[in-house]
Structure 1
């Protein structure tokens, strides 16, 4: 579709000989020269640049970024069909959570939980019923604390800053104490509370976490490892559903 000219030019005079070596003397003559130059240009221009002259100034090669993300044995990666199923199930679950949050059903019907202080150690004790480090001192009451799974009635009371804080804690907990099903359950529950578009802090928390999960998966010695399935689910959700496709097993999904 041809574009309509912004300024009128007399078409009869457009093809007249133009001496490009002389400066234009009128606005119309200037516009004619512009159109004359445009007519001689290709629709697509490709610059032929010798990039070798810049190599000595390159401090980091972006093509090597994926080497940081711990490539996984292809046998450990779920099929595209399985990943699509994971994303679909997660989307349906999030829709149910949105409806519950809007109606506040769970907050009315269930007891309110007493949350710990905003401390890394206190939250670990609350979630998993044990100290983060065996050397941590616990009083007699703390020794008998029951682990707290991520109940809906609990997580629906969380505000966004707390969700991000706990995701950061989980990243630290996994580095210190390893990954297991209980930590995977908490990650799944917390990311289900996030809404797109994500904040900058949320992106940072998710990217840090998925890099760590990919590292753990790359260190598994067998596809029969019971941790492979929850790792694949979390990696798929964070990378595909939340748009971190440069860290995904298949960025085209």
Structure 2
């Protein structure tokens, strides 16, 4: 057979293909059994079961509002604007990211030498869902490395979530307390990468709460820039270091 005739025959076969045609033919003598004993009986059972299933399955949920790779819809409020007087420059944000990166590298080097200093850390035990214990812990402890590194990684997300709740209670016109800010920074510095989905949600919520507090500051007050600084730092780190770029200033 010539190449030209072969290609024509192949094209004719492709035109006659039927994607729903059976791949295997089963002898009419094969009987349907509850427990197949050979390949043909198994295929017959599969074919019979397939007839009870619709050819096209429709989703009964409205996914039109979902993000492309999102399996569950999470409502997020629109991003609040920032007064120009309180908006950090790109250069300033880059400096914060660089300093934060150095801090995380220092912690990483410490963790690699855990055998040397493991006896000097404070092992912290807290019920993950007990908010009262968390708040007492934050008020009675100082965020030193010996304290933060004593927390299991499973507790970091819960602690950061409680800190976000504490921040959300800041009165309009005020900023977060200095010690609370130190705890947030310490927890961010110990947050593991790559981020889990729950951790991402917590970080985004933290940044949005900070943006909300900043939005309620009076930019004309003398200490407005100072009050906005810790808020700008946390928004910057979540957006630019942890790559939630849509929240960036």
Shared fold (TM-score, shorter chain, > 0.5): yes
C-alpha deviations, 1:135-188, integer Å up to 9, x for none?
A: xxxxxxxxxxxx312110111122221000001111211223552211111111
* Stretches of 4+ aligned residues off by more than 6 angstroms: none
Residues 93-132 of structure 1: pairs in structure 2 closer than 5 A? 93-104=103-114, 105-108=116-119, 110=120, 112-118=122-128, 119-128=130-139
How far apart are 1:106 and its partner, in Å?
4.0
Residues 60-209 of structure 1: pairs in structure 2 closer than 5 A? 68-104=78-114, 105-108=116-119, 110=120, 112-118=122-128, 119-128=130-139, 147-177=140-170, 179-209=176-206
Is contact 1:171–1:212 with CA below 8 Å preserved after alignment? Answer: yes
Q: 1:26 aligned to 2:37?
A: no
CA–CA distance in structure 2, aligned partners of residues 205 and 67 of structure 1: 14
C-alpha deviations, 1:38-85, integer Å up to 9, x for none?
A: xxxxxxxxxxxxxxxxxxx9x86x9xx997111111221111111111
- When normalised by structure 2's length, the TM-score is 0.64
- When normalised by structure 1's length, the TM-score is 0.63
Unaligned runs of 5+ in 1: 1-8, 14-23, 32-56, 129-146
Is contact 1:239–1:248 with CA below 8 Å preserved after alignment? Answer: yes
Query: Alignment length, in residue pairs?
Result: 184
Is contact 1:107–1:156 with CA below 8 Å preserved after alignment? Answer: no
Partner SS, residue 227 of structure 1: helix
Unaligned runs of 5+ in 2: 15-61, 68-74
RMSD over aligned Cα, in angstroms? 3.1
